[in-house]
Amino acid sequence: MKLMFFETRDKIELKVTGMTCGHCEAKVEQALRQRPGIKKVSASHSREKVTIETDKSGLVDLLEVKEIIEALGYQVLK
């Protein structure tokens, strides 16, 4: 059984390390953009941050988001 943690805030900021360029940012943004509950994604390698804006449902599975980012080769610290 998979344990899930759902976030209900309008904006979520995650510290993500390992991104080194604009291509890395685009990979993360593209991978997350299609997930349920996510309206907008912005990744910044220079600030080591991924910002997620949720849609009106405001329901985002943060464990799934973390798994997606880490599957791309980056580390989520928060």
Question: pLDDT (tens digit, 9 = 90+) per residue, 34-54?
Answer: 898 899 999 999 999 999 998
Residue 47: the pLDDT is 98
Are the CB atoms for 19 and 76 separated by under 8 Å?
A: no
Predicted model pTM: 0.85
Report the chain (78 residues): mean pLDDT per 10 consecutive residues: 56 96 98 92 98 82 94 93
Specify the number of domains making up the chain: 1
Q: What is the DSSP letter of 35?
A: S
Residue 7: the pLDDT is 57
1 within domain boundaries: no
Full residue range of the structural domain in which residue 41 is found: 6-76
Q: Which two tokens stand for residue 31?
A: 């991978």
Are the CB atoms for 7 and 36 separated by under 8 Å?
A: no
41 within domain boundaries: yes
Residue 46: the pLDDT is 98
**CATH code at 38?**
3.30.70.100
